[in-house]
Amino acid sequence: PASGKPIIVPTQDMVLGIYYMTRERLHAKGEGRAFAGPEEVALAYETGSLDLQAKIKVRMNGERVETTTGRILLSEIIPSQIPFSVINKTMDKKSIAELVDRCYRVAGNKETVILADRLKDIGFKYSTKAGISICLDNMKIPSAKTGMLDQAYNEVR
């Protein structure tokens, strides 16, 4: 678009999944644990001893970082040119769009396409794990809908 922002940004269920995996939940299993690195976090999560939304401490690039399990898992799909601090927060649609934009600016077109595909996959994976989805049944249809549609049709004729 004219703004220069990328148009390939995850939506709906993908955003829900990424939001779910990066949010922090109090008293989650494994909260407060410290890990030597991201690999150790992934292993603890895979074995079930650590919750996705647990607040943890991880050594990354020689520094101790406070984060969540989900953010560490998300960092595995992010190009190396993007610092972890960019995703070390609850990722909403705006944050994801900023991530894709930053990837395009620092890593180029090819890496951005790969990132978008990976965001799609991880978003669907974790929205499924969370059991969240958006569908028509979630929408509240106003009782006045029929009248509003009839009025609009009459105006168009």
Mutual angle of helices 13-22 and 93-107, in 10-degree steps = 90
In a domain, 1, yes or no: no
Residue 140 pLDDT exceeds 90: no
In a domain, 2, yes or no: no
CB atoms within 10 A of CB 148: 10
What is the domain extent for residue 121?
A: 13-156
In a domain, 8, yes or no: no
Predicted pLDDT at 155: 85
24-78 pLDDT, tens digit per residue, is 999 999 999 999 999 999 999 999 999 999 999 999 989 999 999 999 999 999 9
66-106 pLDDT, tens digit per residue, is 999 999 999 999 999 999 999 999 999 999 999 999 999 99
In a domain, 5, yes or no: no
In a domain, 4, yes or no: no
Alpha helices, DSSP H, located in the chain: 13-22, 38-46, 69-75, 93-107, 109-130, 145-156
**Count of the separate structural domains present in the chain:** 1
In a domain, 86, yes or no: yes
CATH of the domain at 96: 1.10.274.100
Residue 55 main-chain phi, psi, to 5 deg: -80, 125
In a domain, 3, yes or no: no
The DSSP call for residue 135 is -
Distance separating alpha carbons of residues 9 and 22, to the nearest angstrom: 17
